[in-house]
Amino acid sequence: MENIPSGDWIVKLSFLGYTDIEESIHIGTLNENYDLGKVILNSSTLALESVVIKGKRSTVSSGLERKSFAVEHNVAQSGGSVLRAMQNLPSVTVSSDGVVSLRGSDEVLVLIDGKQSSLTGFGTATNLDNISASNVERIEIINNPSAKFDAKGNAGIINIIYKKRIKKGVNGEVGLALGIGELTKKPQNLTDQIPIQEKYAFTPKIAPNFSLNYRSEKVNYFVQVDGLIRKKVNSNIFSNRTYDDGSVTNQQFSEMRQQAEYNVKFGADWFLNDNDKLTVYGLWQDEYHSDYGDVPYLYNDPSKNNRLWQWTE
pLDDT 10s digits, 202-243? 888 888 888 888 888 889 898 988 888 888 888 888 888 898
Cα–Cα distance, 55 to 37 (Å, whole number): 45
Q: Average pLDDT of 156-171?
A: 78
What pLDDT is recorded for position 10?
92
pLDDT for position 12: 92
Q: Are 67 and 60 in contact (CB under 8 A)?
A: yes
246 band by pLDDT with thresholds 50, 70 and 90: confident
Residue 185 pLDDT exceeds 60: yes
Rounded Cα distance, 278 and 264, in Å: 20
**Closest-CA residue to 20 (of 40, 50, 49, 48):** 40
Q: Output 13 or 85, whichever has higher pLDDT.
A: 13
Whether residue 159 contacts residue 136, with contact meaning beta carbons closer than 8 Å, is answered with no
How far apart are the C-alpha atoms of 10 and 242, rounded to whole Å?
A: 101
The fraction of the chain above a pLDDT of 90, given in percent, is 3
The Cα–Cα gap between 142 and 157 comes to 5
| pLDDT value for 290 | 92
Question: Strand, helix or coil at 87?
Answer: helix
Residue 259 and residue 289 in contact, taking contact as beta carbons nearer than 8 Å: yes
pLDDT over 80 (residue 122): no
**Which residues on neighbouring strands pair with residue 177, listed in sequence order?**
207
Instruction: Find which of 13-17, 109-113, 152-156 is predicted with most confidence, using mean pLDDT.
Output: 13-17
Measured CA to CA in angstroms, residue 152 lies from 91, 111, 116, 145 at distances of 19, 12, 11, 11
Strands of 66-70's sheet in order across: 60-62, 66-70, 136-142, 156-162, 108-112
Angstrom distance (rounded) from CA 85 to CA 304: 50
